[in-house]
Amino acid sequence: MTIATILNKYFTSIGKKIQKVFTNLPTIWPDNIKYNYPSEFQLLSVTSDYVESELLKLKSNKSAGLDKISVRMMKDAAGVIAPVLTRIINNSFLNGCFPKRWKSAKVFALFKDGERTSKDNYRPISVLPAVSKVIERIAHDQLGGYLKENSILTSTQFGFRANRSTEMALTNFTDDILKHMDNKQVTGVVYLDLKKAFDTVNHQVLMKKLKSVGVQGQTLCWFQSFLSNRSQQTIIANSLSESLKITVGVPQGSILGPLLFIIYINGVQSCLENCRMVIFADDIAMFCPASTAVELQAKLDFDLQGVMNWLRNNKLLLNVPKSKLMIIGNSRKLKEFANIQLIANDAPLERVQNFKYLGVIIDENLSWKSHIEKLQIKVSQRLGILRRIKHLLPKHARIIFVNTMITSLLDYGSLVWGDKKNKIMMDSLQVLHNKAAKLVQDRPMLSSSSDALRMLHWSTLKQRRSIRRCLYVYKSINGINDIDNTFIRNADVHGYNTRHKNDLRPMKSSTCKGLLRSNCDFIADWNLLDENIRNSSSLSNFKRAVFKFFKSI
C-alpha cells in the first residue's frame, strides 16, 4: 500500500469517524424556525458573456485538478469555451444535476509539524477542476445574494461574508466586554472549538436547512447532487492513490463549501437565553455579563447545555480539550469569580488567563499586554531576517518584505488593541517600525527615525491606526461595511445649529474602561476630519484625503 493510499484513506475517514459518535442518536430537526419569504430561491440561467467574465476572474496561479486542465489555458480560451460552458451550466441548474466529473478532487498532503510518520500531522489540501469553480461561483453569488436580501444569516456571523472581517468581529466582541466592565460587571467567555467542523457536516441535516431557508425544487436537487457521490485521490511525489468516496462534510477547496457551512451553523445562536455570540465561520465566542459569581455560573451553565444539545442534534462535536473558559474583568473583581467551572461532555473546560481568538491574544483584564509582547517578539524576529538578507535585496524588494511580513502584523487587530492608554507599548512598536524603515534604506540605527519614515513616505503607526479608524467609520456610515451603523451625529439628537452639529456623538462612559471601546477611538478620530473630507464622494477619494490629513498633523 502506497503512502498516498494510506493518507487518502485517513483523510476520507476523519469525518466518518466523528459521525459515528451520533449513530445511535436520532436525527432531530432542532431549530423549529419557519421562514416566510416572498418567493423560493431558484438558480437562474446565465448568459455566455457572464460566464466568460467569470472565467477571466479565475486566478492563473492555481493548480490544475485531476482533469489536468490548467486555469491559464481556460482563461486564454475563455471566448471559445464560454458558449459551451454556459449550456452545461444552464442545463445543470435546470435539471438539478451537478456534473459528475467536476466532483473529483486531487488532494495534496501538507505536513504541519511533529513526527513525519504520523498521519495526524498532515493536512489535506484539495484541488478541484478549475471549471467547477465557475459554476460554483455563479451558484454562490446567487444564493449569497438571496440570503443577504432576506436577512437570513445571523448578524453575529462574520465569516465568509462580503464586507465583513475578523476585525469587525473583534470590535463587536471587545466593545461589548468593555461596556460590561464600564457597568462594573465581569464577562464570562466560552471559546468553543468544533472538531473538524467542515468535515463533519451531515448532508441530510444540511438539506433540511437549505429547504428551511427557501431552497426548493430542482435547485434543492442541484445542491443534493453537488454534495453527493464526491470522491478524492491523494497525490504524494507523483504517486496517485485510488479514488475514495466522501460521504460527509462540505467539499474542501470549493467555493460553495464555506457558504453552505455558515447556513448549516446559522441556528446555533438560537439556543441561547443569557449569552451573545460572535462567530467567524466555526470560531465561536459565547459570552455574557454578570455581577455575581452565582449569577454567572447559572447563566453559563444553562447556555452551554443549550449549545451542547444544539451541536448534538446537528451532529457536530465539541472539542472539549481545545474549548476554553475565560472570565474578563477588573483584577479586583475577578477574585470573587475564582471558583467558576464549566462541564462539557463530562469534562471540565480549562480556565485560561490568555486566549488567541481570531489572531489576537485576549487576556482576562483586556489589557492587550500579552498580545503586544508576542507581537514585539514576532516583528523582531522578522527584522532579524531582513537584517541578514538585506544585502541580497534591492530597495523595492525590501519594501515589499516590510509591507507583507512586518507592517501587516503591526496593523492587524490594531482597531481593537491600538492606543488603549498604553502609550509605552505603542511606542515600543513604533521603534520596531522605525528600525524597518532604516533597514530598507540601509541607514544607521542611531540616525533620525522621522527622516527615515519621510524618505519612504511612510506614516507612523499611530497615523495608520487613525486612518484605518476613519475608513471604518466612512464604510459604516455609507453602507459599505455589512454591519449596522451605530454612529450618531449630534444633529440627529438635537436641532441646534452648532459648529459641531455634524460631528459624531461621543459615547457615554462612567469609568475609564468604557472610554477604551474602539468606537470611542473611531468617533474621536472621525471628528478631527474637515467636513469636506467626511463628505468625499467615493471611498478612493476619501482614502487620499484622510491620508493627506493625518500626514499633515
Instruction: Evaluate if residue 459 carries a pLDDT over 70.
Output: yes
Domain residues for the domain of 20 are: 3-160+198-264
Are both 257 and 287 inside the same structural domain? no
Are both 257 and 283 inside the same structural domain? no
pLDDT confidence of residue 247: 94
Characterize the bridge pairing of strands 230-236 and 244-246: antiparallel
Residues contacting 416, CB < 8 A, separation 6+: 167, 170, 171, 174, 360, 518
Average pLDDT over residues 271-280: 97
Are both 357 and 503 inside the same structural domain? no
Are both 144 and 283 inside the same structural domain? no
Per the structure, how many domains does the chain have?
4
Contact 107, 12 (CB under 8 A): no
Last residue of a domain, one of 264, 283, 310: 264
Are both 256 and 209 inside the same structural domain? yes
Q: Cα–Cα distances in Å, from 206 out to 29, 35, 212, 264, 280?
A: 10, 16, 10, 6, 19
Are both 467 and 536 inside the same structural domain? yes
Q: Cα–Cα distances in Å, from 441 out to 399, 447, 449?
A: 9, 11, 11
Characterize the bridge pairing of strands 239-240 and 230-236: antiparallel
Average pLDDT over residues 352-359: 98
What is the tens place of the pLDDT at every residue in 195-214? 999 999 999 999 999 999 99
HEC string of 105-163? EEEEEEECCCCCCCHHHEEEEEECCHHHHHHHHHHHHHHHHHHHHCCCCCCCECCCCCC
Last residue of a domain, one of 335, 363, 391: 363
Contact 234, 11 (CB under 8 A): yes
Report the alpha-carbon distance of residue 189 to residue 283 in Å, rounded.
13
Report the alpha-carbon distance of residue 161 to residue 164 in Å, rounded.
6
Residues contacting 27, CB < 8 A, separation 6+: 202, 204, 205, 315
Report the alpha-carbon distance of residue 139 to residue 141 in Å, rounded.
6
Characterize the bridge pairing of strands 244-246 and 350-351: unpaired
pLDDT bracket for residue 35 (50, 70, 90):
low
* Degrees to nearest 5, angle at CA 141 with 140 and 145: 115
The better pLDDT of the pair 81, 115 is held by 81
Contact 316, 192 (CB under 8 A): no
Residues contacting 258, CB < 8 A, separation 6+: 159, 160, 198, 250, 281
Work out the number of other CB atoms within 10 angstroms of the CB of residue 545.
18
What is the tens place of the pLDDT at every residue in 75-97? 999 999 999 999 999 999 999 99
Ranges assigned E (strand) in 358-408: 360-363
pLDDT confidence of residue 504: 93
Are both 184 and 212 inside the same structural domain? no
What is the tens place of the pLDDT at every residue in 508-549? 899 989 999 999 999 999 999 999 999 999 999 999 999 999
Report the alpha-carbon distance of residue 378 to residue 385 in Å, rounded.
11
pLDDT bracket for residue 497 (50, 70, 90):
low
pLDDT confidence of residue 420: 81
pLDDT confidence of residue 113: 86
The three cell numbers locating residue 414 = 490594531
Average pLDDT over residues 44-72: 94
Average pLDDT over residues 363-372: 96
Q: Cα–Cα distances in Å, from 64 out to 74, 75, 79, 110, 525?
A: 11, 13, 20, 17, 47
CA-wise closest residue to 460 among 376, 551, 373, 398 = 551
pLDDT confidence of residue 21: 83
Are both 273 and 225 inside the same structural domain? no
pLDDT confidence of residue 392: 96
Average pLDDT over residues 493-519: 83
Instruction: Evaluate if residue 461 carries a pLDDT over 60.
Output: yes
pLDDT confidence of residue 361: 98
Q: Cα–Cα distances in Å, from 394 out to 283, 386, 401, 453, 455?
A: 41, 12, 11, 18, 16
Residues contacting 240, CB < 8 A, separation 6+: 4, 233, 234
Are both 77 and 209 inside the same structural domain? yes
- Using DSSP, state whether 328 is helix, strand or coil: strand
Instruction: Evaluate if residue 128 carries a pLDDT over 80.
Output: yes
- Using DSSP, state whether 345 is helix, strand or coil: coil
Q: How many CA atoms lie within 13 A of 307 on its CB side?
A: 32
CA-wise closest residue to 199 among 20, 22, 14 = 14
pTM metric for this prediction = 0.92
Are both 312 and 251 inside the same structural domain? no
pLDDT bracket for residue 495 (50, 70, 90):
low
Q: What is the mean pLDDT of the chain?
A: 93
Residues contacting 394, CB < 8 A, separation 6+: none
Report the alpha-carbon distance of residue 518 to residue 416 in Å, rounded.
6
CA-wise closest residue to 462 among 405, 418, 409 = 418
pLDDT confidence of residue 195: 94
Average pLDDT over residues 120-130: 93
Instruction: Evaluate if residue 29 carries a pLDDT over 60.
Output: no
Average pLDDT over residues 106-122: 89
DSSP class of 72: H
- CATH number of residue 173's parent domain: 3.30.70
Are both 530 and 480 inside the same structural domain? yes
Residues contacting 540, CB < 8 A, separation 6+: none
Are both 277 and 211 inside the same structural domain? no
pLDDT bracket for residue 496 (50, 70, 90):
low
Instruction: Evaluate if residue 25 carries a pLDDT over 90.
Output: no
Q: What percent of the chain has pLDDT over 70?
A: 96
Last residue of a domain, one of 418, 438, 458: 458
What is the tens place of the pLDDT at every residue in 287-326? 999 999 999 999 999 999 999 999 999 999 999 999 999 9
Residues contacting 160, CB < 8 A, separation 6+: 258, 259, 261, 262, 281
H/E stretch holding 235: strand 230-236
Helix axes 461-477, 423-441, angle to 10 degrees: 110
